[in-house]
Amino acid sequence: MAIYGGKKMQIRQLSFLLMGVVVGFAGTQSATANEESCHWNYGAGCGSPDNWSHLSGHDGASYAACSAGKQQSPIDLDEGQAVGDAKPLTLRFNWTDWRSGGQIFNNGHTIQVKVQDENSLTIGDEAFTLLQFHFHSQSEHVVKGAHYPMEVHFVHKSKKDGSLAVVGVMLDQSDAEDASNPYLQIMQKAPHGSSHGSEQSAEVSLPPISPKGMLPLAAPLKSGNHEYPDYYSYEGSLTTPPCSEKVRWIVLKDPIRIPAAAIEEFHHAFPVNPGNARPVQPLNLRTVHRSWNAN
């Protein structure tokens, strides 16, 4: 009986052990399934910015860089800490092409605009093609810890090597109501769609706006282009998953003021809480450059 009882106890212990393995495996499977079904967002829960690195795209692309990367964006732009050695920046847009059309859509994370034809940015001797621009609220970059109400990102791709350069422009609120303001026209036309999700709205045509009103005033050049003498520059990343690095950032020092109605229209699609701005990331060992001498 003693031997039999011992075997019975061993069998019972083995059963409990197997049950633990099964439960543990099921728990792992459940966690994996939850991660796979969880879509990144700006709120709380499994898709929050703190958890982006644990998720992956529909194509299996890893988002690990969102936490493992050392050159992440956005950052705090502190004039006193930036090095004043950047050269004047020339933005070269083919203004007339913006009037020929484009598409506006809500991708579930922002309002995005795809422009047609050739619009370019030149940094030194390198040319970049404008791919799209989109919006964040509140601003993702901060200046000495302070946010602007919104920020627009003009995303460009290098014609030379395919690398990305993003021009960030801070958007401040104006007391004046201007029905012809291009930002207001875009927001009034943009589909509200599904915010903070993976569903994309249908595309609508970009109204015939003038892109000159989308940038701060600057000194015009003989070529019809515009030179922006005051800006920050640093090496960073995409501010959304997969948070890919080696992105050249140009953030204009001066904001542009837009009607309060434009900001309100954006908030109809993306409410202030939680907004659609990634939290500020550590600077680490990077240097922020500025193109003007600090007082």
Catalytic center residues: 109
The DSSP-derived string for 260-275 is: HHHHHHHHHHS-TTT-
Cβ-proximal residues to 24 (8 Å cutoff; 6+ apart), any chain: none
Q: State the Cα angle at 156 between 267 and 220, rounded to 5°.
A: 90
**Rounded to an integer, what distance in angstroms lies between the CA atom of residue 3 and that of residue 262?**
82
**Rounded to an integer, what distance in angstroms lies between the CA atom of residue 81 and that of residue 288?**
7
Cβ-proximal residues to 102 (8 Å cutoff; 6+ apart), any chain: 113, 114, 115, 116, 205, 206
Cβ proximity of 80 and 204 under 8 Å? no
For 226, the token pair is 């515009």
Burial of 286 (0-12, 13-18, 19+ CB in 10 A): middle
- Measured CA to CA in angstroms, residue 224 lies from 139, 154, 193, 218 at distances of 29, 19, 37, 11
Burial of 5 (0-12, 13-18, 19+ CB in 10 A): exposed
- Measured CA to CA in angstroms, residue 271 lies from 57, 146, 239 at distances of 24, 19, 19
Q: Strand 245-252 vs strand 256-259: parallel, antiparallel, or unpaired?
A: unpaired
